[in-house]
A and B are shown apart, each in its own frame.
Chain A
């Protein structure tokens, strides 16, 4: 088969859920040996399209043709598409935490003994797993449990698993969403390496810099239809060009202008803050951290994943993480003791978590209840809640933040990521904070929703509040913050005003200070 032949063609795919049309006449053409990016806002239909391809939505439930190697395929479930060498790696990894790497790699595709297909051949399983790990550049013992390795490595295990299935077309859904810059880079380079060896991939991502770095062709999907396929064979496409296709308008500035300046008044200060890991009590998660936040200022906290940023925020926020915590917190120049979350809330501090599903929202609960949870005292008298008042408040935030939902009685779990984030923000805005710690406020949400979140941040500082923003996305830190702290290995290693900061300067500080304790 020559290198330029078409491995996959999806023709006029239309998929309906009841009355809702999720995809209408979508076309996608993927050439053998390329990395093909699929971009679009959340809810544009990317995942639906991939589910059609992999047989999760079986043949007959959609219209149009899926053509692999020139022949029309009728997949009824994943195993049929896998037989054709199509493997999908979902954003939420499908690994079993308490099984070993080797067992996970061959789950559903077990290496069995020569005498029976029902008996495991353990030596062969581990031998083969070792070879596969070598191939993806993961230096771990195959008998290590999945729970004991980080997300970046887990991603590599997923890829090894796909290779074990003789993958020809690998689909990666948001592969770098939960990875830091270094791990992301490693993963992308691995995909590029496999491409050069002849493997074809489809990559779904919100990170446009990564897409322009790796993809040969970019197909843009909007509102369930194909908008265009952009050629990126020279890897020189402008990010704004992709964004224009995604949102249907040129979003020249990805960060809204802020017209207010921070005042000189220090609002919030952390002094000599040290905290230890709750399980490993000899390990410092924050080491003598000092930072200041002024009124009306957005301060960025940059760093790699695991640098201690979330740990710092949580330990300050009512000691909700860490042990043997020492140091001072000053609000308006007065020392305060925030020993419980309630103390922190009472002192008008808010922490908006990075993990909105895990520890931010009650997913099976309506928007209303989520909005008021942190400050039930504001909607109750004598401990009795005024439901009507709550509904009015929830509706107000729904309008102010432009949250898209059927009604405020809708369960938060049914909203898209961007709208969930807005509910989470509403919850903490309702708490009347002076100081907001926003931990990865735009993780996993699309460009349009990101822009709206940035606007909300600007409004908050315009009201004189201080925002401490933790983010792993450097463009966001550079685009939004007045001042930037860089954190590495539990310590603050640099402080720079926006004018002096750049992606290079931040990364080089991190690299210079790594492992030099």
Chain B
């Protein structure tokens, strides 16, 4: 039992997210607005928040690397979106080539910012503030202040469709995929535990292990069923899963990830340990540019348009997600999972309040308070643990 409370304590943020979900679910049901967990709405939450999650992952790496943020991501989303619009809609360019060019533009933007930040050592806040204005201006120039739409359906297919294409197969296929994933997860978890035991390494407590296993399986199967009852698996969810898993792996398991944390934890110590800190910092911003471009492609597909105002305020959503997710403003601390939960947290708030028909102005106010509250609770609970 003690083990389980420990797990719950360590995942206080996830518990808070679940609590907020249950809270909204009760109110939404009581007031007769349907349900937060209706299959359609569940799919909706995923696609609504896809861009924040992608940006938050990139932002998290910037925050870990130096405690600094990238204020330019919203503008980058607009600029890359604008270029995508011009290429695919106005010039009717090949879709794959256009996507490649857009991603390349993102990388170039990231390299531009990374160069000033990492090699010339201009404070990131200033470089990205300048980037925020610069790229927004360029987006306006490219679009000439107008909105471009609609995008070709072959392009939209990439980001907004579902697997399988045919509605009739949706349920069966989704259930099968879910079952396979659940089986894979079970296998991986047991395999890891067994191989650790074989090598004589420490393994976590049995109750805790089983509890964690059950919780993950429950979440996996429940979401699988919800999706199955709607239109199937959204393509965007596959993309998100791949991105989150990849970056989680980089952060937790690779040498590069460890060096990133070292850079943020103590740059001088990292340098004296053989880490090429300048290059690391540079690559962090290149990566941010790349993920901004991915987010831009997702965004134009979702809205089916490239608008000059696209991406307004996205940087703040991403930053908020990271800090709610437990990243430290001093650098060196933060988890990909945390940033994702932070993004979903804000997404659920938005979605729940929208369903309840709460006025947009009030939504903003509440979000501001919740952001502060989430971080305050996190800080206070950590203090108590230390004392």
Q: A56 interface residue, CB < 8 Å from B?
A: no
Q: State which of B253, B259, B269, B387 has its C-beta within 8 Å of the C-beta of A18.
A: B387
Is A373 a contact partner of B332 (Cβ separation < 8 A)? no
Contacts A364-B328, A388-B196 given; does A374 touch B274 at CB 8 Å: yes
Q: How far is the CB of B262 from chain A (nearest CB, A)?
A: 6
CA distance A342 to B253 in the complex (A): 21
CA distance A352 to B272 in the complex (A): 9
Q: A397 interface residue, CB < 8 Å from B?
A: no
Is A365 a contact partner of B254 (Cβ separation < 8 A)? no
Q: B367 interface residue, CB < 8 Å from A?
A: no
Q: B255 interface residue, CB < 8 Å from A?
A: yes
- C-beta contact mask, B205-228 vs A, less than 8 Å → 1, else 0? 000000000000000000000000
Stretch at the interface among A165-173, A290-298, A379-387: A379-387
Q: State which of B201, B259, B271, B330 has its C-beta within 8 Å of the C-beta of A341.
A: B271
Which residues from chain A contact B332 at a C-beta distance below 8 Å? 362, 364-365
A residues 351-405 near B (Cβ < 8 Å) are 351, 353, 358-365, 369, 373-374, 376-377, 380, 383-385, 387-388, 391-392
Is B274 a contact partner of A340 (Cβ separation < 8 A)? yes
Is A359 a contact partner of B253 (Cβ separation < 8 A)? no
Q: B276 interface residue, CB < 8 Å from A?
A: yes
Is A384 a contact partner of B262 (Cβ separation < 8 A)? no
Q: A345 interface residue, CB < 8 Å from B?
A: yes
Is B258 a contact partner of A385 (Cβ separation < 8 A)? yes
Q: How far is the CB of B112 from chain A (nearest CB, A)?
A: 26
Is B272 a contact partner of A361 (Cβ separation < 8 A)? no
Is B276 a contact partner of A373 (Cβ separation < 8 A)? no
B residues 187-212 near A (Cβ < 8 Å) are 196, 199, 201-202
CA distance A164 to B330 in the complex (A): 36
CA distance A17 to B387 in the complex (A): 8
Q: How far is the CB of A15 from chain B (nearest CB, A)?
A: 15
Which residues from chain A contact B257 at a C-beta distance below 8 Å? 385
Number of B residues contacting the other chain (C-beta, 8 Å)?
29
Is A376 a contact partner of B261 (Cβ separation < 8 A)? no
Is A320 a contact partner of B271 (Cβ separation < 8 A)? yes
CA distance A69 to B271 in the complex (A): 53
Which residues from chain A contact B387 at a C-beta distance below 8 Å? 17-18
Is B258 a contact partner of A342 (Cβ separation < 8 A)? no
Is A362 a contact partner of B262 (Cβ separation < 8 A)? yes
Q: B270 interface residue, CB < 8 Å from A?
A: yes
Q: How far is the CB of A317 from chain B (nearest CB, A)?
A: 8
CA distance A131 to B361 in the complex (A): 61
CA distance A374 to B269 in the complex (A): 10
Q: B268 interface residue, CB < 8 Å from A?
A: yes
Contacts A373-B273, A388-B196 given; does A359 touch B255 at CB 8 Å: no
Is A345 a contact partner of B265 (Cβ separation < 8 A)? no
Closest to A388 in B: B201
CA distance A377 to B201 in the complex (A): 20
Is A345 a contact partner of B274 (Cβ separation < 8 A)? yes
Q: State which of A341, A361, A369, A384 has its C-beta within 8 Å of the C-beta of B274.
A: A341
Is B272 a contact partner of A383 (Cβ separation < 8 A)? no
A residues 165-213 near B (Cβ < 8 Å) are none
Q: B129 interface residue, CB < 8 Å from A?
A: no
Q: State which of B201, B253, B268, B272 has its C-beta within 8 Å of the C-beta of A384.
A: B253
Q: B266 interface residue, CB < 8 Å from A?
A: yes
CA distance A320 to B254 in the complex (A): 25
Is A391 a contact partner of B202 (Cβ separation < 8 A)? yes
Q: State which of B253, B268, B273 has its C-beta within 8 Å of the C-beta of A358.
A: B268
Closest to A373 in B: B273
Q: B306 interface residue, CB < 8 Å from A?
A: no
B residues 323-353 near A (Cβ < 8 Å) are 328, 330, 332-333
Which residues from chain A contact B275 at a C-beta distance below 8 Å? 341, 373
Is A360 a contact partner of B269 (Cβ separation < 8 A)? yes
Is B256 a contact partner of A383 (Cβ separation < 8 A)? yes
Is B269 a contact partner of A359 (Cβ separation < 8 A)? yes
Contacts A320-B272, A342-B276, A364-B333 given; does A384 touch B254 at CB 8 Å: yes
Is A364 a contact partner of B276 (Cβ separation < 8 A)? no
Is B255 a contact partner of A353 (Cβ separation < 8 A)? no
Chain A contacts to B: CB under 8 angstroms: 17-18, 317-318, 320, 340-342, 344-345, 351, 353, 358-365, 369, 373-374, 376-377, 380, 383-385, 387-388, 391-392, 427
A-B contact pairs, 30 of them (CB 8 A): A17-B387, A340-B276, A341-B271, A341-B273, A342-B274, A351-B272, A353-B269, A358-B266, A358-B268, A359-B268, A359-B269, A360-B269, A360-B272, A362-B266, A362-B270, A362-B332, A364-B265, A365-B261, A365-B262, A369-B261, A373-B273, A376-B258, A377-B255, A383-B255, A384-B255, A385-B253, A385-B254, A387-B253, A388-B196, A391-B202
Q: A345-B274, A359-B268, A373-B270 are in contact. List 15 more A-B contacts (CB 8 A).
A: A18-B387, A320-B271, A320-B272, A341-B273, A353-B269, A358-B266, A359-B269, A360-B269, A362-B261, A365-B261, A365-B332, A387-B253, A388-B196, A388-B202, A391-B202
Ordered nearest first, which 7 A-B pairs have the shortest CB separation?
A: A359-B268, A362-B265, A388-B201, A342-B274, A374-B273, A341-B274, A376-B255
